[in-house]
Amino acid sequence: MASSTGNEKSVNPVLRISQLDALELNKALEQLVWTQFTSCFSGFKPGVLAHLEPEIKAFLWLLLWRFTVYSKNATVGQAILNIQYKNNFSQTEKYQALSKQQKLWYLVLTVGGRWLEERCYDLFSSRPLQSLCKVKSLISFATGLVKLCGLLNFLVFLQQGRFATLTERILGIRAVFGRPQGIRQLGFDYMNRELLWHGFAEFLIYLLPFINLQKIKLKISSWCLPVAGLPSSDQAAAARCKECSLCGEWPSLPHTIGCSHVFCYYCVKSNYLHDLDFTCPKCGSEVQSLQPLKYKIEMAELHP
């Protein structure tokens, strides 16, 4: 009863993009399997698998075929996309599973064809005999003819939407949906978050050049530090000359801007060039004139 019910399933055509996506998923899986297999021999001598690489690949693809096409009538990529193969030679429009002969010939044309191509290439490249030149030319011609037929089949596939590969057309196996396709529920929350974040990031990139970070830093430092009064004697002025009001170090080429505080020449000059409205971070005085320090203070006086 279950088998008769399964054979009476209706056939749902598959979109071209879904068939191409299934082929790409199959290639990605094969590459992943081969990468995982070769990583098991990473500790061995390099090239230990080089002589048997075509046979090892053929054995791995044989295992994949056994647990995918042979048992489920679908490759791994097709199973992910809810696609499976249908026997297109059947007279009924209902779903008909692949015959055993079709599955075996699928193995021969896919796995066997790739193994033969790789092994023949190694054979003729290692034994360049004159007697094998004609055979090599014949195989090269056959390979080119098969690739040309594959190209023509792909062009027909783009027009008709059936038989994405030459093997499928030769064997009469067609990709159909395994179950009726339901309405896809699309959630746009993630996309909305990404668009919002990208818009905010672009706004920040546009806004940051207009923000004078150095001026903000000096303004905050002037708020945090108490406002100092103006000195009334030379000793008070000398005490203020011990450090630069910007970098806090011993002032190099000490200069003033019109207030009682002292700055390194390079500190005050660079800040003034960066911000023409530069003010003293200690007292908030504007730049009146950049002049060298008039007091002649010796190191011994400041550090007794």
> Does the global pTM surpass 0.75?
no
CATH number for the domain running over 238-295: 3.30.40.10
Strand partners, 40: none
**Half-sphere CA count of 213, side-chain side, radius 13 A:** 3
Percent of the chain with pLDDT over 70: 76
Which pLDDT score is estimated for 12? 73
- pLDDT of 89-148, one tens digit each? 876 777 888 999 999 999 999 998 888 888 776 666 655 556 667 777 787 788 889 899
* E strand intervals along 165-217: 173-177
Exposed / middle / buried, residue 259 (Cβ in 10 Å: 0-12, 13-18, 19+): buried
Q: Domains of the chain: which residue ranges?
A: 16-180, 238-295
- pLDDT of 220-237, one tens digit each? 766 665 444 444 444 555
